[in-house]
Amino acid sequence: DAKTTQPTSMDCAEGRAANLPCNHSTISGNEYVYWYRQIHSQGPQYIIHGLKNNETNEMASLIITEDRKSSTLILPHATLRDTAVYYCIADSGGSNYKLTFGKGTLLTVNP
Amino acid sequence: GAVVSQHPSWVICKSGTSVKIECRSLDFQATTMFWYRQFPKQSLMLMATSNEGSKATYEQGVEKDKFLINHASLTLSTLTVTSAHPEDSSFYICSVQLAGGHEQYFGPGTRLTVT
């Protein structure tokens, strides 16, 4: 699995967009970029994933650079409930793939 | 997505005793479930992959005789921490993955404290 690098922490004002960067410069062609988040003392929650194209769902948008060496998770209108640790993971996916969690980014949404 | 439950949500046990943690997939038949462990202020670490009807696959460094995993049905996997020690105190989390899908769905976790 490719190694990912994320900032340790970020702050965002409530109602504003939160842009969380992730560097995965060694990602291989068949590896997806996955984003999960973990609210304190809860199990992680899947957010979104992508391979090459930008993706959007009801929770967030994922912007992947053309060279695929980095990506940005965008929460368009952050709320206090979005305060969590966000994990960016690069993996080839497939059935029963193993998630390797790094340290992630602690996003704090401030009122 | 899949709904995953765990029981108990927290447990306190004495050193030397065994504790069983259940992971249930409530609306989905899971041939494979994953067990993770998370120590305070650390990230999740995969312990083992639980396969229905067969032996679990343990990650390097995880003692299979200490952490017994049973996946007897498509909706239930259990993790038994045998002869628990205080250093086994941790947050244990299970997950399932939908067949053909990319997402893993996690349970709410079980906090184990060994005194």
Residues of A in contact with B111 (CB under 8 A): 41
- Asked if the Cβ–Cβ distance from A43 to B103 is below 8 Å, we say no
CB contact burial B75-97 (16+ within 10 A = b; e otherwise): bbbbbebeebeeebbbbbbbbbb
- Supply the Cα-derived Rg of chain B in whole angstroms: 13
- Could you give the percent of chain A with pLDDT greater than 90? 84
Residues of B in contact with A5 (CB under 8 A): none
What would the two tokens of residue B59 be?
A: 């990650």
Q: What is the pLDDT of residues A6-35, one digit of tens each?
A: 999 999 999 999 999 999 999 988 899 999
Å from B13 to nearest chain A CA? 20
Which residue of B43, B59, B71, B111 to mutate against A (max A Cβ within 10 Å)?
A: B43
Does residue A99 contact residue A89 with C-beta atoms inside 8 Å? yes
Does residue B69 contact residue B52 with C-beta atoms inside 8 Å? no
Model pLDDT, residue A95: 58
Q: Which residues of chain B have pLDDT under 70?
A: none
Residues of A in contact with B71 (CB under 8 A): none
Model pLDDT, residue A53: 92
Model pLDDT, residue A2: 75
In this model, does residue A56 exceed pLDDT 80? Answer: yes
The reply to whether A7 touches chain B by the CB within 8 Å rule is no
Q: Does the N-terminal peptide bond of residue B8 adopt cis geometry, omega within 30 degrees of 0?
A: yes
pLDDT top residue among A76 and A99: A76
The reply to whether A96 touches chain B by the CB within 8 Å rule is yes
Model pLDDT, residue B31: 82
Q: What is the pLDDT of residues A87-109, one digit of tens each?
A: 999 988 765 577 889 999 999 99
